[in-house]
Amino acid sequence: MDWLRRFMYGRYGQDEFSIALILLSMIVSIICIFIPVPWINLVSLIPFGYYIFRTFSKNIAARQKENRWFLSWSMPIVRWMQNRIKMLKQRKHYRFFRCKGCGQTLRVPKGRGKIELTCPKCRTKMVKKS
């Protein structure tokens, strides 16, 4: 394993963007199974090739810049999906409403009947059935 350590010395390695490229490559190759075009599966090698290039790249500053760019637009999407999953897990005991004033999501315990809600962010009042 010493040769591997020596080979990887000064090279960039893995980050969030490389993991996403591997996933993209896998998703594309699965989609390609359903497209009846010869050699279409080779399309999945584009993100995979870029993954290989990034992993062994010695231009660390450029790779970090790419990862920052990737995180800047992907993290809001990830956070949004994590929130949806959390809401889905809590839907048995809570109801969720969107504030008409500011768009904030409000969580209320289920089964309290008609209740008046006050948005903690903008103080908009709403009457909802929980």
Which residues in this chain contact Zn ion in the complex, by CB under 5 A? 99, 101-102, 104, 119, 121-122, 124
CA distance 25 to 37: 17
Q: Which is nearer to Zn ion, 41 or 104 (CB)?
A: 104
We find the least distance from the C-beta atom of residue 89 to Zn ion, in angstroms, to be 24
We find the least distance from the C-beta atom of residue 7 to Zn ion, in angstroms, to be 55
We find the least distance from the C-beta atom of residue 124 to Zn ion, in angstroms, to be 5
Q: Which is nearer to Zn ion, 121 or 129 (CB)?
A: 121
- Tokens for 103, please give them: 């768009």
Among 127, 83, 129, smallest CA distance to 104 is for: 83
With tokens 């970090």, the residue in question is 64
CA distance 90 to 79: 17
Q: Which is nearer to Zn ion, 46 or 122 (CB)?
A: 122
